[in-house]
Amino acid sequence: MKIATISDVHIKESGDEAEALLLKFLKHPLVQQCDYVALLGDIFDLMCGPHSIYLQQFQAVFDAIDDLQKSGVKIIYIEGNHDVHLKKLFRKKWKKDEVILSQSHIVLSEDNCLYYLSHGDDHEVDNESYQKYKKIIFSAPLRFVANYLLPYRVLEFVGRKASQKSRKRGSQIFNEDLVRERFRKGVEVNNPEADIIIGGHSHVKDSYTLKSGSVYLNNGYALREKVFIYVDNKDYQFVSL
């Protein structure tokens, strides 16, 4: 089984460098020959709820995904912490759930090989405040607010402000080596029963063999690393974009 994954692209607006990178990924020859293509969250810097304007604003991305799934490639989209509550939005584009959407990890199995795919924040086990925050934003009350009560303009304003503060705060405290070590420990603690574990969220590129013999892969922050993960059975590589 051939799988291509990418995470943490953080597309902010149509036509930006991040969108161009994702389109390059979706149209890459290796990607187009895959059995599965997985978008592992934070593909967009802010996307929440069923607002049709997203389909218009990012039409090139949604059309490229649609072309890929129509060609026979199975598409998985796992929501991150910047792109949430997208079920109703995706139903507007894919009425028969042609794109697999999930708010949690997905396990694929083929030829006695297990692949564990997630956004990667499930490995941030030592960050209790974040885990509480994630439970709140994925809760039923917040899902109702996102789907029925939150106007797009309010969401955009609040989301942009929060995103700016988050990036400013993160740039001050970010230590790549420490983050890499934290996530490796988190994967060891979670110890998913899989041969290959792929996640994102940390913004740190990594390839790490666990004590169990499983392999953990992370493409890091896509705009900085400009790579995606390509897996052919148990063989894997980072492919440049």
Which parts of the chain fold into alpha helices (H)? 17-26, 29-32, 53-57, 59-70, 87-93, 128-137, 140-144, 152-173, 176-190, 222-225
Q: Which residue has the tokens 């080596």?
A: 177
φ and ψ of 142, to 5 deg: -70, -30
CA distances from 115 to 24, 53, 151, 232 (A): 24, 34, 38, 11
Q: Which residue has the higher pLDDT, 237 or 130?
A: 237
Q: To which H or E segment does residue 76 belong?
A: strand 74-78
Assign 32 to helix, strand or coil: helix
In terms of Cα–Cα distance, which of 234, 232, 225 is closest to 206? 225
Structurally, how many domains does the chain consist of? Answer: 1
pLDDT of residue 194: 95
pLDDT over 80 (residue 92) = yes
Domain assignment of residue 230, given as a range: 2-240
pLDDT of residue 229: 98
- CATH number for the domain spanning 155: value is 3.60.21.10
pLDDT of residue 166: 59
Residues 6+ apart with CB under 8 A from 181: none
Give the C-alpha separation, 100 to 38, whole Å.
9
CA distances from 60 to 95, 142, 172, 179, 237 (A): 19, 29, 34, 33, 27
Give the C-alpha separation, 45 to 239, whole Å.
23
pLDDT over 70 (residue 65) = yes
pLDDT of residue 110: 87
Q: Which residue has the higher pLDDT, 151 or 196?
A: 196
Beta bridge partners of 83: 47
Mean pLDDT score of the chain: 93
Lowest mean pLDDT among 12-21, 28-37, 89-98, 171-180: 171-180
Q: Tokens for 172, please give them.
A: 């001050």
Residue-wise pLDDT for 134-159, tens only, equals 898 899 988 998 888 888 887 777 66
pLDDT over 70 (residue 195) = yes
pLDDT of residue 145: 87
Read off the pTM.
Answer: 0.94
pLDDT band at 165 (very low <50, low <70, confident <90, very high): low
Give the C-alpha separation, 75 to 91, whole Å.
14
pLDDT of residue 80: 96
pLDDT over 60 (residue 170) = no
